[in-house]
Amino acid sequence: MKKSIWKPIRRTISFLITTVLFLTLVFTVFITISSKASGGEPEIMGYQLKAVLSGSMEPDIQTGSIIAVKPGGDMTRFNEGDVITFINEDENLITHRVVDVTQSGEHIMYETKGDNNNAPDPTPVLSDNVVAEYEGFTIPYLGYVVNFAHSQAGSAILLIVPGILLLGYAAFTIWQAISQLDVKQSSETKVKETIEQK
């Protein structure tokens, strides 16, 4: 009776582990190939995935998160409260909130601030330096994986390790199935021998 209860539970656990390993492999392959193909951040359905490795936008965007931003369009369209991704004077990508919009001749300038920062950013952002808009999609901690995937060692490890785990688990499952088959055959042989002796 106990065996019949544990069998479907074991089967479900086995299916879940296989699914998680397979999805991890597919995701890491996608992240790595997409990063290499685009020459930068991975892209899906017109959105770029960017790693956030500072806490300036906490609590909305946690350190180590991955965010989806929408590139392109009219970069003079943003208003106070919008969250934009821009290139700062040090050539770094920053994602901060617009706190004020000013016009300087033909140019639009944005004053920006990280939600978790005490003061606005020291230099206003020219609309030409805005690259995308953040629209609220974030996955915590995955940014560390994306950042790691950009390195040569990272891309190799992220492709190889899930594959090895999946193959190892498949080999273990096959070994278990063969062991159960051997036990079943030996018990059937014993029953047959007992019947023949009678």
Residues 6+ apart with CB under 8 A from 155: 32, 35, 36, 149
HEC letters along 109-128 = EEEEECCCCCCCCCCCEEHH
Determine whether 35 is an active site residue.
no
Sign of the C-alpha dihedral computed for residues 29, 34, 39 and 43 taken in this order: negative
Rounded Cα–Cα distance for residues 140 and 85 (Å): 18
Annotated catalytic residue, options 54, 56, 151, 187 = 54
Number of CB atoms found within 10 A of residue 143's CB: 22
Rounded Cα–Cα distance for residues 159 and 164 (Å): 9
Known catalytic residues are: 54
